C-alpha cells in the first residue's frame, strides 16, 4: 500500500512540473500573489548561466535572456528552463508563450502563461522584467539525438475561437535564430545517453613545428585526449572515413591538428575565404572545421576551415551567424597552417587522406589577449566534411547546425 501511495505522489509531482494548457488563473491566492511579486523584476539578474538573447517581438515584448539546467538529458529527465521577458508596451491581447522542443522526428510542446500560469500578457506592465521558470519533462519515447528549443508568443483567443495560428512576429531576433514559422531558436539539447563533451587541453612542453606531419610528441596524447568523432546522427564514423583531432597550446599559440582518412580527396579552391564547404556545384568538398567561443555565450566566435589543399577560410561572428559569412570573413587572422595530402585533389585513384596542423596566436583569437590560465571555460567544436561517404563528422554532436555552439564541447587549457 505504501508503495502505491508513493507512486501516486510521484505521479502528482511529475504532473505539477508540466506547464498547464489551461487558461490563466483568475483568482489568485496569497501564495500566488507572492509568486508573481517574486518573479516581476526590474532587470535581468547576473550569472554565468544566464545568457543574453535580446529578441524583439513587434516592439511589444522582448525575450532578454534565458538559462537552462543542462544541455544533455535522457528520456524521462526534466530540464529546468528560465526565460526573462520584458514588456516593451502595454499588451491588450491575450498572448500565450509557446515552447517547442523539436527533433528531426518529433515535436513536444510546453505552452503556458508566464509565472506558472499566473501572469497573462494582459497583466504585464511596460518596463517589467518577468522571470518565467518552468520544467521540460522529456518523454520516455522522445527520440535520442539533438533537439532544439523554439519559443514565441501566439494569440490564445484567435487559436481558441478560430483555430488561427496568429503569432507575434519577430522584429529583431537579437542573438536568436528565426525560422519561417516565426519562432525564436533559444538553444539546443542532446537527448540520450550522450554526455556533454569536456576536454582539458595539455600545454606543450616546447613550441610545435607546424609542418603538417604531426610528428611532434605532444600530438600523440592530444589526439587521444580529444577522442572519437561521430556522424551528425550520433553514429560511429566508419573506419574507412575515420577522423582524429588534437589540441595543444603554449604561451603564444593555440595549436589545432586533424588526421583524416579519405579515399576521394576533392577541393577545387585556391583562394582564401572561398566556400571550402561547398563542392562548387558537385555536392560537398573535403574540409576540416574548428569553432572557438571564448566565453560560451554564442557571441564573438571563430569559424576556421582548412582544406586538403591548405586553403583557409576564417570568419569571426558577433553572434549566431551574424553578420553574414561574407562580412564575417573579411577579417583574416594570422593563421599558420600546413597540410600534407596523401593523394591527389581531384579524380584519380590511390587517395588515402590528409593531415592538418595549424597555429593561431592567442592575441588573434576573439576575446583573447593572452594564453588562458587554466580556470576559464571555452566552447569548442571540431568537424570534418567529406564529398563522399559520411558527409559530416563532429566531435561534440551538433545535429546539422555547426554554428549552434550550445552543443559544443566545454574546454579548459591547463598545464
Q: What percent of the chain has pLDDT over 70?
A: 91
Helix (H) or strand (E) holding 314: strand 312-317
DSSP secondary structure of 373-405 = -S---EEEEEEEE-SSSSSEEESS--TT-TT-G
Task: Place 399 in a pLDDT band, splitting at 50, 70 and 90.
Answer: low
Give the pLDDT score at 193.
66
- pLDDT score recorded for residue 195: 61
CA distances from 360 to 130, 251, 253, 299, 415 (A): 42, 11, 5, 19, 19
Confidence tier at 413 by pLDDT (50, 70, 90): very high
Query: Does position 20 have pLDDT exceeding 70, yes or no?
Result: no
Q: What's the pLDDT score for residue 19?
A: 40
Q: How many residues does the chain have?
A: 415
Assess contact for 255 and 221: CB atoms under 8 A. no
- Rounded-to-integer distance, Cα 321 and Cα 36, Å: 36
| Contact (CB, 8 A) for 24 and 120 | yes
DSSP 33-61: HHHHHHHEESSPPP-TT-EEEEEEETTTE
Work out the average pLDDT over 170-195: 85
pLDDT at position 285: 87
Residue 256, CB-side half-sphere exposure with 13 Å CA sphere: 20
CA dist 7 and 1 (Å) reads: 10
What is residue 177's predicted lDDT score, i.e. its pLDDT?
A: 80
Residue 28: per-residue pLDDT = 83
Peptide bond into 323 cis (omega under 30): yes
With CA atoms as reference, report the closest residue to 123 among 190, 250, 192, 36: 36
Provide the grid cell at 198. 569536456
Nearest to 201 by CA among 392, 362, 333, 406: 362
Compute the chain's Rg from CA coordinates: 24
Q: How far apart are the first and last CA of the chain?
A: 57
Q: What is the pLDDT of residue 170?
A: 94
What pLDDT shows up at residue 146?
82
Q: Is the pLDDT of residue 12 over 70?
A: no
Instruction: Name the one residue in this structure whose C-alpha cell is 537527448.
Output: 191
pLDDT > 50? residue 199? yes
pLDDT confidence of residue 9: 35
Whether the model clears a pTM of 0.85, i.e. scores above it, the answer is no
Element of type H or E holding 287:
strand 287-293
What pLDDT was estimated at residue 222? 96
**pLDDT tops 70 at residue 15:** no
| Beta bridge mates, 337 | 358
Q: What share of the chain is helix, strand, coil (3-state, %, to 5)?
A: 15, 40, 45
Structure-block grid coordinates of residue 145:
539525438
Q: Please report the pLDDT score of residue 24 as a whole number.
A: 77
All structural domains of the chain, each given as residue ranges with its CATH number in brackets, are 18-191 (2.60.40.770), 198-414 (2.60.40.1190)
Q: What is the pLDDT of residue 299?
A: 80
Q: What is the mean pLDDT of the chain?
A: 88
How far is 96 from 61, CA to CA, in rounded Å? 12
Amino acid at each position: 500500500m505504501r508503495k502505491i501511495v508513493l507512486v501516486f505522489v510521484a505521479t502528482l509531482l511529475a504532473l505539477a512540473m508540466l506547464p498547464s494548457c489551461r487558461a490563466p488563473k483568475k483568482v489568485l491566492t496569497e501564495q500566488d500573489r507572492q509568486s508573481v511579486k517574486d518573479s516581476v523584476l526590474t532587470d535581468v539578474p547576473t550569472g554565468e548561466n544566464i545568457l543574453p538573447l535580446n529578441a524583439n517581438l513587434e516592439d511589444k515584448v522582448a525575450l532578454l535572456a534565458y538559462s537552462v539546467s543542462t544541455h544533455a538529458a535522457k528520456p524521462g529527465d526534466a530540464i529546468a528552463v528560465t526565460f526573462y521577458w520584458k514588456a516593451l508596451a502595454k499588451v491588450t491581447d491575450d498572448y500565450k508563450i509557446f515552447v517547442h522542443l523539436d527533433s528531426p522526428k518529433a515535436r513536444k510542446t510546453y505552452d503556458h502563461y508566464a509565472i506558472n500560469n499566473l501572469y497573462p500578457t494582459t497583466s504585464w506592465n511596460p518596463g517589467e522584467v518577468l522571470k518565467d521558470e518552468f520544467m521540460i519533462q522529456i518523454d520516455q519515447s522522445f527520440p535520442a539525438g539533438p533537439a532544439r528549443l523554439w519559443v514565441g508568443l501566439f494569440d490564445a483567443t484567435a487559436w481558441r475561437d478560430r483555430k488561427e495560428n496568429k503569432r507575434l512576429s519577430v522584429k529583431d531576433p537579437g542573438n536568436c535564430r528565426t525560422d519561417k514559422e516565426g519562432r525564436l531558436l533559444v538553444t539546443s539539447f542532446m537527448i540520450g545517453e550522450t554526455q556533454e563533451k569536456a576536454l582539458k587541453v595539455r600545454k606543450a612542453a616546447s613550441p610545435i613545428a607546424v609542418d603538417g606531419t604531426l610528428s611532434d610528441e605532444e600530438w600523440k596524447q592530444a589526439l587521444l585526449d580529444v577522442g572519437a568523432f561521430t556522424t551528425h546522427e550520433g553514429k560511429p564514423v566508419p573506419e574507412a572515413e575515420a577522423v582524429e583531432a588534437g589540441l595543444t597550446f603554449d604561451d603564444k599559440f593555440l595549436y589545432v591538428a586533424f588526421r583524416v582518412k579519405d579515399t576521394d580527396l576533392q577541393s577545387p579552391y585556391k583562394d582564401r575565404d572561398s566556400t571550402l564547404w561547398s563542392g562548387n556545384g558537385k555536392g560537398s568538398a573535403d574540409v576540416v572545421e574548428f569553432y572557438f567561443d571564448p566565453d560560451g555565450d554564442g557571441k564573438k566566435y571563430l569559424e576556421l576551415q582548412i582544406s586538403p589543399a591548405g586553403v583557409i577560410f576564417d570568419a569571426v561572428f558577433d553572434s549566431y551567424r551574424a553578420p553574414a559569412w561574407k562580412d564575417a570573413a573579411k577579417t583574416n587572422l594570422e593563421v599558420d597552417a600546413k597540410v600534407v595530402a596523401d593523394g591527389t585533389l581531384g579524380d584519380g585513384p590511390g587517395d588515402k587522406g590528409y593531415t592538418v596542423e595549424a597555429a593561431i596566436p592567442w592575441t588573434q583569437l576573439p576575446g583573447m589577449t593572452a594564453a588562458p590560465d587554466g580556470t576559464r571555460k571555452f566552447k569548442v567544436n571540431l568537424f570534418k566534411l567529406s564529398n563522399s561517404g559520411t558527409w559530416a563528422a563532429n566531435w561534440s554532436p551538433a545535429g546539422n547546425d555547426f554554428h549552434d555552439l550550445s552543443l559544443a564541447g566545454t574546454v579548459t587549457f591547463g598545464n
